[in-house]
Amino acid sequence: MERQFDNPGFYSRRLGDFFLTALHDGHVIRDRPAGFIRGVDEAVVEAAFTEVGNSPGKLEVSFNPLLVDTGALRVLIDTGHGPNGPPGTGRTIANLTAREYSPKEIDVVLISHFHGDHINGLLDAEEKPAFPNARIIIPAPERDFWLSDRHSDDEFPGRMKVNRQAAQRIFAALGERVETVDWCQEIVPGITAIESAGHSPGHTSYRITSEGAALLFAGDVTNNPGIFARYPDWIATFDNWPQKTAQTRHRILRELAETGTPAYFFHAPFPCFGRITASETGFDFRHEIWRQD
């Protein structure tokens, strides 16, 4: 008999008095398109991706929202693909449930940026709110870029146009439950919005602090940090604002390396917690050892 594997994808650890849970939305393996890293020789790119475990010519991406249980509030940061993502994704709610939380128990959903793998899970298969009792909080600069009436669809090329139309549909369906947050603003006690624009024009990270302990939800400051921390000037085709992406990446990674603050990267290999250290080419991502508190 062939064995079937469908293990729950969650991992929990403490941060001060907070309880953090990494939630695996899934992963995809696809052909890596030529020119995926702008202006870098394909042989160099191939070697870098092979070194972190990707099969030749492939791009493997993991998707991982984070749940922060402060004791008073349950805060979900990003949502994954939801019911309409590629095969192998859309598992956030199943893994939330496996961790014995209900979608109805989520009090706040924070969004880092409006790319589909971060916002599509806001709606269920019937286009209704997936977290029916939650405040939905989005970065004001991200809203202003993607949803502003000052822009027309014709100003958004290719994938960006599709992304904008999806964001318009999702946030229109959520209506008045959507609120905005400005950079440097504390949203709930212990969670503050941090400017990290580049990958998306309003991309926002979140600093989480409790009882003197801190962690940065870095979102997509890097894609796989095993590659993009080591080569912080590499720009992927889905980085919307190339020059700003590199500037932000250097700034955030340098700060993490100098302070020793742990970070959580949405696309890191699960369960995504680790530290940044300086290296000869840029930085290294040191994956946190799996532990049971």
249-273 pLDDT, tens per residue? 999 999 999 999 999 999 999 999 9
> Cα separation of 71 and 100, whole Å?
15
Residue 1 has pLDDT above 70, yes or no: no
Residue type, 28: V
Percent residues over pLDDT 70 in the chain:
98
Render pLDDT for 59-100 as a digit per residue (tens, 0 to 9).
Answer: 999 999 999 999 999 999 999 999 989 999 999 999 999 999
* CATH numbers and ranges of domains, the chain: 10-287 (3.60.15.10)
Residue 178, CA atoms < 13 Å, CB-side half-sphere: 20
Instruction: Quote the tokens at residue 90.
Output: 């859309």
- The DSSP code for 7 is -
pLDDT, greater one: 151 or 200: 200
Q: Residue 159 has what pLDDT?
A: 86
Q: Residue 86 has what pLDDT?
A: 95
Instruction: Give the chain's length.
Output: 293
> Cα separation of 218 and 265, whole Å?
5
Residue 3 has pLDDT above 60, yes or no: no
Closest among 221, 210, 204 to 285, alpha carbons compared: 221
Render pLDDT for 219-231 as a digit per residue (tens, 0 to 9).
Answer: 999 999 999 999 9
Q: Residue 230 has what pLDDT?
A: 95
Residue in the block written with tokens 């099969």: 55
Render pLDDT for 126-141 as a digit per residue (tens, 0 to 9).
Answer: 999 999 999 999 999 9
Confidence of residue 151 (pLDDT cuts 50, 70, 90): confident
Residue in the block written with tokens 């998306």: 200
Helix ranges, the chain (H): 42-51, 92-98, 116-119, 140-146, 158-174, 225-228, 242-259
> Cα separation of 182 and 202, whole Å?
10
